[in-house]
Amino acid sequence: MLTRRSLLTHGLGAGLSLGLPPLARAAGIPDIDVTFLVINDVHACRIGDGLSPNCQDEGKTDANLLRHIRALNNIHRQTWPGEIDGKATGFALSGERIARPQGVIVCGDVTDDGGGQMAEVAEGSQLLQFSHRYQQGPGPDRIHFPVYVGLGNHDLDQDGRPPQVDWYRDELRDYVQMNHKPSVFFKPVVPVDNYDEASDNYSWNWGGLHLIQAQRYGGDSTRGTASSLDWMKRDLAAYAKDGRPVVIFQHYGWDSFSRERWDPEKSTFTIEGSGAPHWWGESERQQLLATLEGYNVIGIFHGHEHDTPATYKAGGIDVFKARAAFMGGFGLVRIKGNTMDVAIGDATDGVGGVTFTTAFTKRFG
């Protein structure tokens, strides 16, 4: 089937994705002092005037999203924690006011069910709900910072009725483009520096920090998209070959849930399974890590698993995950010079309160 994605992969879009700006680093790497938020698994769940099945029981409610938004909006009125569970965090700014975040980066699953599936082609109610909450705007019910959108399996895996099998996916991908893709004719909501139209991966720079949004995962070639790895190689060569720090954002991780395979003995997916991967396979993970090799990647942030905040390593790279946004989870990150501080926490009430659960700090080369 000829789709918009295949045209972009093999036609005009393939040429556009090569259009990188010239490298200009004569003056050295710009200074870095950046504070930002990372969230995952929003799961906007509205269908019509109600919710998708099971969403109420799972806590995927608008009330919980509002609680989450108010915590994020209030974060720069909080202080960096000096201790978490009686252990010193080691943060350089312990006890000092958190700076206003430069943005909120989303690691996938902005909606619960393909944007809010409908029998006929129409604007998905879940995508509309997400945009009313997590697109920058005024008032207590919207996020107050620029939002960098990333998609996950709940956004991209749904098929429409033949012959329009891709329209759910296209709606979500069009939303990402509307928010981020630079254009001669249209100014996006949150412009970025480099956008790959075939994969909807994109990158931007905050001072001397380079950031890449890889959607479900870097190299995803399923559901009508094209692998972003060649684009990512060109992007890194253009922006990060001088050794500046790089941060990657995507939906799938290296945790046990993301690495599940089919288990024929248990007739389900498990970490011990030997069959086909549930989400992404070992070869795909290794190809992504190989693409990043040689660059100063100081962190990968992901989502997908909802319940457990995590810090761990994959291929020598530090990896981070907060709890799901509908459960209140978020990551707070500050990168200054060659120091990276990450505080993972949860919204605790409806008036902006937070509790920090996990601390990570390091110096990097």
- What local confidence, expressed as pLDDT, does residue 14 receive? 37
pLDDT 10s digits, 227-254: 999 999 999 999 999 999 999 999 999 9
- What local confidence, expressed as pLDDT, does residue 10 receive? 41
Residues 61/50, Cβ–Cβ less than 8 Å: no
* CA-to-CA dists, residue 207 to 27, 29, 203, angstroms: 13, 8, 13
- What local confidence, expressed as pLDDT, does residue 59 receive? 93
If pLDDT is split at 50, 70 and 90, which confidence band does 123 have? low
If pLDDT is split at 50, 70 and 90, which confidence band does 2 have? very low
Which is it for strands 246-249 and 46-47: parallel, antiparallel or unpaired? unpaired
Cα 107 to Cα 324: distance, rounded to the nearest angstrom: 10
If pLDDT is split at 50, 70 and 90, which confidence band does 11 have? very low
Q: Which residue has the tokens 């009725």?
A: 161
- What local confidence, expressed as pLDDT, does residue 244 receive? 97
Cα 361 to Cα 171: distance, rounded to the nearest angstrom: 38
90 or 158, which is more confident: 90
pLDDT 10s digits, 88-115: 999 999 999 999 999 999 999 999 988 6
- What local confidence, expressed as pLDDT, does residue 48 receive? 77
Query: What average pLDDT does the segment 152-167 reach?
Result: 83
- What local confidence, expressed as pLDDT, does residue 122 receive? 58
| Summary mean pLDDT of the chain | 90
pLDDT 10s digits, 36-93: 999 999 999 998 778 888 899 999 999 999 999 999 999 999 999 999 999 999 999 9
**Sequence-distant (≥ 6) Cβ neighbours of residue 195 within 8 angstroms:** 177, 180, 181, 182, 201, 202
- What local confidence, expressed as pLDDT, does residue 231 receive? 98
- What local confidence, expressed as pLDDT, does residue 16 receive? 39
Q: For residue 92, is it left (φ>0), alpha (ψ between -120 and 50) or beta? A: alpha
pLDDT 10s digits, 261-318: 999 999 999 999 999 999 999 999 999 999 999 999 999 999 999 999 999 999 999 9
Structure tokens at 238: 């253009």
- What local confidence, expressed as pLDDT, does residue 89 receive? 97
Phi, psi of 303 (to 5 degrees): -135, -130
Cα 299 to Cα 297: distance, rounded to the nearest angstrom: 6
pLDDT 10s digits, 172-226: 999 999 999 998 888 999 999 999 999 999 999 999 999 999 999 999 999 888 9
Q: Is the dihedral of CA 262, 214, 41, 94 positive or negative?
A: positive
